Structure 1
């Protein structure tokens, strides 16, 4: 799917969504990998029962659904707009999403299904579902294609602990400390972060946890040199659900203040989004690149981000794999406050 994406009127979309074969028609394996609807084009008046059936189908079809907001919304569009996976404002934005989805349709389908059903899950259930989805995709063809094209660097031990931890009275500092790799989130970093967070969970005398990163970036996401190094997806799932920084952050979230700057990629935005307060430098940007690898966010982002910015914006961020600048992140609620970058 390249170039302009064909759109349906609201009425045409409702008719197709109500069809018994809708899950087959809008599917990454047997039909269209995306359904796009022009929300300003009604087509005809729609009955309440038709709209109710379409809403249910939007939750059930495997393919992502995208609403294109153009012009004023009629009755049908108003009834459906909150039920699409993503809502965009321009045809060019829709075209970019279409290209991303077509390149990795299984990952895109898995992502939106995970987000749809995540609205009714608690944090623990959401993290388990995310890990299972991630492991499923690790065994899939899209990740295999990415992995085959990725040149892995040599795995070398870090010259120092991957997380600096120190305490000032009732404040605990946890600083990601792999600046030479832009704080790429490695297994060693995950384990060290879990150790520090476990201390915070166990010690209620710690009133504040400051979560930060050394160097030019807060965190550039998962260490790509480690991708595909575990023996199998089942083991990867077991490790993710055993050593989960996301779970620990959620347990002490009300005491966590994240201080982010520069690149906040993958885990670098998924984890701080659990914090009760995210303070960002003006040079910070958020990015979820996992779909381009045939994966979904795997560090808790399908749980933490929707709680801050909602399901549709989370889906846009993950499906588009585009940078979200600091000001937009603040306006959306992903960052709580911005600070000027200090000179030097």
Structure 2
């Protein structure tokens, strides 16, 4: 933690300040505060340096998909980009936003189940898309309209998540909004954003801290370490462990 904080002192300070503020804010305003803090760090030299040093990706992978199906009053939402370990790209973000908006518009949907195809729940946001919007103010404005967390937080009481495998970054941030999370015993959880010079900006400072408290959330962010499934259960990050995600 000391080494990580020394390497990214501005990001560490800002995420700490943000987590102190969030308990006093309702969900919508808390997401706005998170986005503003994230925008501040998007414009930092540390984040720009991380983008410039990031290894170039290999062959481009297919665009992400979000599959929807309905059975009675249950809407199932599936992350469907297994070839990229369900890294969430722009198409998937838009699909998730639309899926949760649908659940909020149709009150006959009494349960929303989020799960993923493949052996990873999600490795987080698609790294190749970092830095595509260089203007932090514009990026903040876009998040205010399209961030899936904006809709997920409105149906969180009806939402459950089935996690199998890695649940990282934006994937964990979204999942943590759910009222009930079930994970397989091989699953693990991580918030790695500090090393990129930023903070969890997909709603995670709000969702994770509402689940496990701001101290443990800060520990996850500053250390960047992985929590195994047993630790996640003990901390309250998940509600139950199973042998089979289905």
Q: State how far apart, in whole Å, the 2-side matches of 1:274 and 1:197 are.
A: 12
The answer to whether residue 28 in structure 2 is matched with residue 109 in structure 1 is: no
Q: State how far apart, in whole Å, the 2-side matches of 1:129 and 1:122 are.
A: 11
The answer to whether residue 6 in structure 2 is matched with residue 118 in structure 1 is: no
Q: State how far apart, in whole Å, the 1-side matches of 2:56 and 2:82 are.
A: 19
Q: Which residue of 1 aligns with 2:230?
A: 327
Q: Which structure is larger by alpha-carbon Rg, 1 or 2?
A: 1
2:168/2:191 contact within 8 Å kept:
yes
1:273/1:305 contact within 8 Å kept:
yes
Higher relative contact order (CA 8 A, sep 6+): 2
Paired residues in the alignment total 246
Q: State how far apart, in whole Å, the 1-side matches of 2:74 and 2:202 are.
A: 25
Q: State how far apart, in whole Å, the 1-side matches of 2:84 and 2:137 are.
A: 28
Q: Which residue of 2 aligns with 1:258?
A: 161
1:253/1:275 contact within 8 Å kept:
yes
SS in structure 1 at match of 2:176: helix
SS in structure 1 at match of 2:31: helix
Q: For residues 97-132 of structure 1, what are the alpha-carbon distances to aligned partners after superposition, in whole Å with 9 as ceiling and x for unaligned?
A: 100000000000010000001110111111111111
Q: For residues 49-103 of structure 1, what are the alpha-carbon distances to aligned partners after superposition, in whole Å with 9 as ceiling and x for unaligned?
A: xxxxxxxxxxxxxxxxxxxxxxxxxxxxxxxxxxxxxxxxxxxxxxxx1000000
Matches within 5 A, 1:126-275: 126-153=30-57, 156=60, 158=62, 162-275=65-178
Deviation of 1:158 (Å): 2.9
- Output the aligned Cα RMSD: 1.6
2:61/2:84 contact within 8 Å kept:
no
Normalised to the residue count of structure 2, the TM-score between the two structures is 0.96
2:61/2:83 contact within 8 Å kept:
no
Q: Which runs of 4+ in 1 moved over 4 A?
A: 154-157
Q: Which has the higher mean CA deviation after the structures are superposed, 144-153 or 248-257?
A: 144-153
Q: State how far apart, in whole Å, the 1-side matches of 2:108 and 2:29 are.
A: 28
Structure 2 residue corresponding to 1:295, chosen from 184, 187, 198 = 198
Normalised to the residue count of structure 1, the TM-score between the two structures is 0.69
Deviation of 1:154 (Å): 6.9
1:280/1:339 contact within 8 Å kept:
yes
